Chain A
Amino acid sequence: MTENKQEPVIDHLFRHQYGKMVAILSKIFGPSHLELIEDAIQDTFIQASLKWRTEIPDNPEAWLTQAAKNRTIDLFRQISAQKERKNKMIHGSATLKINDFFLDHEVADSQLRMIFLACHPAFKKEEQIVFALKCISGFSLREIAAALLQKEETIKKRIARTRKKIKEKELHLDYPSPTEIHHRLSGVLQIIYLIFNEGFHSTKEHALVDRDLCGEALRLCRHLLQKKSLRSGSVYALFALLCFHASRLEAKTAGKKVIDLRHQDRTQWYQPLINLGHEAFEKAFQFPDQSMYHLEAAIAREHIMAESFEKTNWSNILTLYEEMYTLMPTTSVLLSLVAVHVQMHQLDAAEDILQKVDAEKLEKRKYLYHASYFEVYQKQKRHKEALHEIEFAIALCPNQMEKDHLRRKRDQVVESS
């Protein structure tokens, strides 16, 4: 088997191991030592990356795990030297064998606890995302900054704030109490949803980072589903939604341009993820809870099941959006309703809804309001008004790629009229 030594290390091994190790060591030493723990693990990877330049070990994962165990012993010495001798947590766990913490089910448990810690209500939403990406998913500050389109300095500050809060509020790696768990779980789902959307709806050039964000969101969600007591309709519905969307990632980002649903090559949609999505979708309805994720997953599913864009079952989608609007009456949902009516050639209905939209509420996304009017006017053959609206949309659009997309639409109208 020596020839197999040349096999490349499996994708994302370092990143995934990083998350595991941070979780294990945080469980052993407590998350107040997070900075020390992360530095130690980072160093393990630097050493590995140097040593493995010339020869990759037979079992890279085992090598890294052993390195982490050695680090644990180092950290024991380091931390107990730091006047922490009286800390009963360390005394308590010192009696346990370090190996026990590295057993598979223990690792999975530690990681779940980390997810709940990341979504602790003491953190703000933007801190939760950053913390999760850093400590659970092993992203560097620079990668997070690129993924969230923020300055690296901003990300650094957010991480520092979470570390400070962990110390001040003495947060531990505990599960929330049974009375609190559902509330906390909904926060966790929200963060997973946000991480996914950052990746999926992004139009920046770093497509690779975006794909990784989507992958991480899926992974976190699957973690939740592995624990029986955490399974619920909402978790399954979210997982289904993420699978349906993620199956379209390749088709959506072929080349440098973002390809919209209408023009995607449907044969490129990734079937295994679609199957997973269908399975999860079915399970989502076997629990008593209902959520927005159920509706969103149902809409995504309609798109996935349509043979072509033209054959999409728009009336089903319309019903789902209407249901969504009764639960969550936002301007974004209204715009979705408009788009569906346009597809169904119900232009008067579309215009009626648009008149109800308070464009100011859309803030940065106000261009979507004008883009919607453009679609309606264009179908009504009111070309002059349509052009007027699209110029508005182009001027207001904050995103370059999206802007180009709108420009192409405008140019098509100019050519055809």
Chain B
Amino acid sequence: MKEFMMIFLGADYEELGLSPEELQMRMGKWFAWGDKMKAQGILRGGNALHAKGKRISGPDRVESDGPFVESKELIGGYYTIAVDSFKDAAVVAQDFPDFDLGGTVEIREIIQFDRE
């Protein structure tokens, strides 16, 4: 069994000006998706992220305040799941609720360090 991270990019609800009704509908879809993954026993973790952030970079540890990228590139959250392959992870990602808002799911395999 491998672990994968599904990283969600774009579809910033704030910028899209979704109505309360739409927000509720979206929330319901996310909830259902999470539920489905839980029921399959594949969900390992996940979080949603605020758009605001801080970056510290370089030898001088320069601090800057974000967001740092355009909203369609912005990471809005992630889930980690345990499945056998990229192919299986891609199947799980089909249920991501925000494709219609121009959202993107990036799937990355989590490196498993030797546990022995």
Chain A positions within 8 Å of B, measured between CB atoms, are 6, 8-9, 12-15, 17-18, 42-43, 45-46, 48-54, 56, 138-143, 212
Point out which of A8, A139, A140, A141 has the most chain B C-beta atoms below 10 A from its C-beta.
A140
A142 to B18, alpha carbons, bound, how many Å?
A: 8
A139 to B18, alpha carbons, bound, how many Å?
A: 9
| Minimum Cβ distance to chain B for residue A197 (Å) | 21
Q: In the bound complex, do residue A14 and residue B21 qualify as a contact, i.e. CB atoms below 8 Å apart? A: yes
- Binary flags per residue of B45-63, CB closer than 8 Å to A gives 1, else 0: 0101000000000000000
A residues near B77, Cβ cutoff 8 Å: 50
Chain A residue at minimal CB-CB distance from B49: A50
A12 contacts which of B21, B35, B46 (Cβ < 8 Å)? B21
Chain A residue at minimal CB-CB distance from B26: A49
A46 contacts which of B14, B31, B35, B46 (Cβ < 8 Å)? B14
A141 to B22, alpha carbons, bound, how many Å?
A: 12
Q: In the bound complex, do residue A18 and residue B28 qualify as a contact, i.e. CB atoms below 8 Å apart? A: no
CB of B34 closer than 8 Å to a CB of A: yes
Known: A43-B14, A46-B13, A46-B14. A53 touches B27 (CB 8 A): yes
Chain A residue at minimal CB-CB distance from B47: A54
Q: In the bound complex, do residue A53 and residue B20 qualify as a contact, i.e. CB atoms below 8 Å apart? A: no
Within 8 A of A (CB), among B1-45: 13-14, 17-24, 26-28, 30-31, 34-35
Q: In the bound complex, do residue B19 and residue A48 qualify as a contact, i.e. CB atoms below 8 Å apart? A: no
B residues near A45, Cβ cutoff 8 Å: 20, 23-24
User: Which 5 pairs from chain A and chain B are nearest by CB?
Assistant: A140-B19, A14-B20, A53-B30, A14-B24, A49-B27
Can you give 11 A-B contacts (C-beta < 8 A)?
A9-B24, A12-B21, A17-B20, A45-B20, A50-B27, A51-B48, A56-B31, A139-B21, A140-B17, A140-B18, A140-B19
Point out which of B21, B22, B27, B77 has the most chain A C-beta atoms below 10 A from its C-beta.
B21
| Minimum Cβ distance to chain A for residue B29 (Å) | 9
A residues near B26, Cβ cutoff 8 Å: 49
B residues near A6, Cβ cutoff 8 Å: 35
B23 contacts which of A46, A141, A142 (Cβ < 8 Å)? A46
Q: In the bound complex, do residue B13 and residue A49 qualify as a contact, i.e. CB atoms below 8 Å apart? A: yes
Q: In the bound complex, do residue A52 and residue B18 qualify as a contact, i.e. CB atoms below 8 Å apart? A: no
Chain B residue at minimal CB-CB distance from A152: B17
B residues near A53, Cβ cutoff 8 Å: 27, 30-31, 34, 48
| Minimum Cβ distance to chain A for residue B109 (Å) | 23
A199 to B21, alpha carbons, bound, how many Å?
A: 17
Q: In the bound complex, do residue B28 and residue A9 qualify as a contact, i.e. CB atoms below 8 Å apart? A: yes
A46 to B22, alpha carbons, bound, how many Å?
A: 10
| Minimum Cβ distance to chain B for residue A43 (Å) | 7
Known: A49-B24, A52-B27. A142 touches B17 (CB 8 A): yes
A residues near B28, Cβ cutoff 8 Å: 8-9
| Minimum Cβ distance to chain B for residue A231 (Å) | 30
Known: A6-B35, A54-B46. A49 touches B23 (CB 8 A): yes
A residues near B17, Cβ cutoff 8 Å: 140-142
Q: In the bound complex, do residue A18 and residue B20 qualify as a contact, i.e. CB atoms below 8 Å apart? A: yes
Q: Knowing that A15-B20, A49-B13, A140-B19 touch, tell me 17 more A-B residue pairs with CB under 8 angstroms.
A: A12-B21, A14-B23, A15-B21, A45-B20, A46-B13, A46-B18, A49-B26, A49-B27, A50-B48, A50-B77, A51-B48, A53-B30, A54-B34, A56-B31, A138-B20, A140-B20, A140-B21
B27 contacts which of A12, A15, A48, A141 (Cβ < 8 Å)? A48
Known: A54-B46, A138-B19. A15 touches B30 (CB 8 A): no
B residues near A18, Cβ cutoff 8 Å: 20
B residues near A142, Cβ cutoff 8 Å: 17, 19
Chain B residue at minimal CB-CB distance from A212: B21
A367 to B14, alpha carbons, bound, how many Å?
A: 44
